[in-house]
């Protein structure tokens, strides 16, 4: 078991529900699907970054920081939640957004970026960067040089400190599995900046639960992503004082479902959003949870999970971003 001796603020609505998706399960004729509702964490329409920000903002305050600086894409769920957390705790917020996706509908002015502005974030924009985190660090240094104490949060809040939020989530899920007598064949989650999957792997290890965590990538191929996830998992486990030993081949990242690229729609994602909406009244997002659900649907149809299996889908939130893609569903 981990000690988690890191400062933490408690503003997420926890524990989030674990609910069955029985209509979707019947529609697919496969395993029983449950959804872990981390779209219900409460901050600024919710999402997985809120768990990370409980630790990150606490660390920023401990270091007497005045302004949070972070980075993301135009429809970044992480930036939205960071801007909201900054407003809640009286901190400034400077964000660097890269214009990685170009669309003709409301992408550049609606959804997450609309909320960023409402929360008072100061937005800087730039073309796509080979190293967005480095560009964000440079912005933080520039602001700090003017005399403002800054705290830089990498993309997705995915540092070892941020990933502690998903160590907590794994411990929470392990307790729910015990109480509800669920033995999942796997947990399915979108994986991008690595912090959510890494925290889950470290957290299940801390809980003594051998639960496969399958990451569906949203921005790169599976092999490259798995290397990054393993590295961050080890760093997170070290920070949390968790005994963690795993081989590279035990870190599963599937890169089959994100093409043509990050934030770019595909048919599997559109089907996944439409199917979960009309069978369960559950709204996914086009960038993360939609592609992760497309991966789960494809795995079920291929026979990877049997009708007697149970799988848990981690809903990472992001519903606000859907409004930047309205033409796909109109």
pLDDT in tens, 249-304: 889 999 999 999 999 999 999 999 999 999 999 999 999 999 999 999 999 999 99
Verify whether residue 76 is a known catalytic residue: yes
pLDDT band at 1 (very low <50, low <70, confident <90, very high): very low
Averaged pLDDT score across all residues of the chain? 96
Q: Which tens digits make up the pLDDT trace of 14-40?
A: 999 999 999 999 999 989 999 999 999
Q: Which helix (H) or strand (E) is 214 found in, with range?
A: strand 213-217
Catalytic residue, chosen from 25, 76, 193, 198, is 76
Sign of the Cα pseudo-torsion (48, 54, 55, 56, in order): positive
Distance CA 48, CA 42 (A): 10
Reported as a pLDDT band with limits 50, 70 and 90, residue 4 is: confident
Candidates 3.40.50.970, 3.30.830.10, 3.40.50.1100, 3.40.190.170; CATH matching 18-47+159-328: 3.40.50.1100
- What CATH code would you report for 49-157? 3.40.50.1100
Phi, psi of 256 (to 5 degrees): -85, -5
Q: Hey, do 18-47+159-328 and 49-157 end up sharing a CATH topology, with the first three levels equal? A: yes
- Provide the token pair at 168: 């907590």
What does the domain layout of the chain look like in residue ranges? 18-47+159-328, 49-157
**Residue 11 near residue 39 (C-beta atoms within 8 A):** no
Q: What average pLDDT does the segment 155-177 reach?
A: 98
In whole angstroms, give the CA distance from residue 223 to residue 34. Answer: 27
Identify the residue whose tokens are 């001796």: 5
**310: enclosing H helix or E strand:** strand 310-315
CB neighbour list of residue 61: distance below 8 Å, 6 or more residues apart: 7, 9, 89, 91
pLDDT at position 100: 78
| Dihedral (Cα; 219, 223, 228, 229), 10-degree rounding | 90
Q: Which of 144, 145, 149, 72 is nearest to 112 (CA)?
A: 72
Strands of the sheet with 92-98, listed across from one edge: 122-126, 92-98, 67-73, 150-153
Query: What distance in Å separates the CA atoms of residue 66 and residue 89, rounded to the nearest whole number?
Result: 10
């Amino acid at each position: 078991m981990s000690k988690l001796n890191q400062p933490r603020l408690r503003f997420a609505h926890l524990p989030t529900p674990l609910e069955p998706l029985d209509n979707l399960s019947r529609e697919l004729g496969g395993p029983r699907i449950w959804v872990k509702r981390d779209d219900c964490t409460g901050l600024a329409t919710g999402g997985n970054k809120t768990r990370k920000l409980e630790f990150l903002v606490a660390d920023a305050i401990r270091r007497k920081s005045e302004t949070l600086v972070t980075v993301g894409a135009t429809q970044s769920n992480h930036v939205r939640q960071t801007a909201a957390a900054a407003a809640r705790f009286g901190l400034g917020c400077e964000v660097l957004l890269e214009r990685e996706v170009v669309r003709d509908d409301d992408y550049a002015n609606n959804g997450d970026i609309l909320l960023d502005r409402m929360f008072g974030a100061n937005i800087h924009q730039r073309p796509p960067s080979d190293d967005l985190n480095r560009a964000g660090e440079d912005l933080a240094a520039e602001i700090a040089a003017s005399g403002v104490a800054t705290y830089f949060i990498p993309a997705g809040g995915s540092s070892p400190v941020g990933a502690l939020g998903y160590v907590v989530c794994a411990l929470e899920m392990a307790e729910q599995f015990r109480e509800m007598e669920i033995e999942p064949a796997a947990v399915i989650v979108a994986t991008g900046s690595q912090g959510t999957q890494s925290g889950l792997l470290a957290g299940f290890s801390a809980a003594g639960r051998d639960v496969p965590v399958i990451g569906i990538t949203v921005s790169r191929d599976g092999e490259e992503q798995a290397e990054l996830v393993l590295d961050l998992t080890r760093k997170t486990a070290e920070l949390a004082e968790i005994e963690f030993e795993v081989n590279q081949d035990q870190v599963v990242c599937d890169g089959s479902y994100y093409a043509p690229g990050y934030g770019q729609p595909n048919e599997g994602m559109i089907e996944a959003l439409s199917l979960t909406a009309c069978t369960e009244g559950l709204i996914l997002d086009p960038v993360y949870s939609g592609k992760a659900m497309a991966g789960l649907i494809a795995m079920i149809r291929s026979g990877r999970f049997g009708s007697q299996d149970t799988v848990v889908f981690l809903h990472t939130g992001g519903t606000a971003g859907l409004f930047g893609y309205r033409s796909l569903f109109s």
